[in-house]
Structure 1
């Protein structure tokens, strides 16, 4: 990875009334600062139902956990619900260690009805 590339990015799309946000790379304090406002904007302009896909997350620390909790709270304030698609075992282990594994509705994969179609692709890669 070059010096001007970030270690994280996201891709978002809507299906029906659900926004699906795929998170990629390292979710740390830097990602929280960069991705947090972008996710906030997406959740505010899109549907109240949200899914965060963690399958491509390679690292999760306190900054990433704060990001997940902020998204959960933001969606809840809008009257919606947030679901997480499980990531690698080490990501699930971090959530278990901090006792947040039960604070989210966890999925093993994207539900078939959502995987089959997308209304809009809102792909976003943060720039440096």
Structure 2
């Protein structure tokens, strides 16, 4: 990884009334600082529901947890529903240890209806060191 390449990125798309945010890489304080404003912009588009996919998250610390809590609060303020797709056993364990697994609606995979519709939607990649689109 180069000096100008960050260890995280996101891909977002809207399917129907649901915003799907795929988080990739290391979710730490830098990710919170860099991705937080971008996610806030996505979430503030409307009263949409949000699904955050954690399957590609490789690291989660207090900064990443703060990012997830910020997303939860932003979605709640907009009257939407937030659901998280479980990450690796390691990421799920961290959420369980800090007792946040019960603070989120957890899914094992993207709901079937959203997955089918998502295939027809365009996706945007946003974040450190990865090509857009």
Deviations 1:71-122 (A, max 9, x none): 0010000001100000000101110110001000000000110011234423
Alignment of 1:87-98 (within 5 A): 87-98=87-98
Alignment of 1:1-128 (within 5 A): 1-118=1-118, 119-126=121-128
Q: Gaps spanning 5+ residues in structure 1: where?
A: none
The CA distance in 2 between the partners of 1:9 and 1:69, in whole Å, is: 18
Q: How many residues align?
A: 128
The CA distance in 2 between the partners of 1:57 and 1:7, in whole Å, is: 10
The CA distance in 1 between the partners of 2:30 and 2:126, in whole Å, is: 16
Q: CA deviation at 1:126?
A: 3.6
SS at match of 1:3: coil
The CA distance in 2 between the partners of 1:124 and 1:112, in whole Å, is: 25
Could you tell me the TM-score, scaled by structure 2's length? 0.91
Q: CA deviation at 1:123?
A: 2.5
Q: Which has the larger displacement, 87-96 or 113-122?
A: 113-122
Detail structure 1 runs of 4+ shifted over 4 Å in the superposition: none
Could you tell me the TM-score, scaled by structure 1's length? 0.94
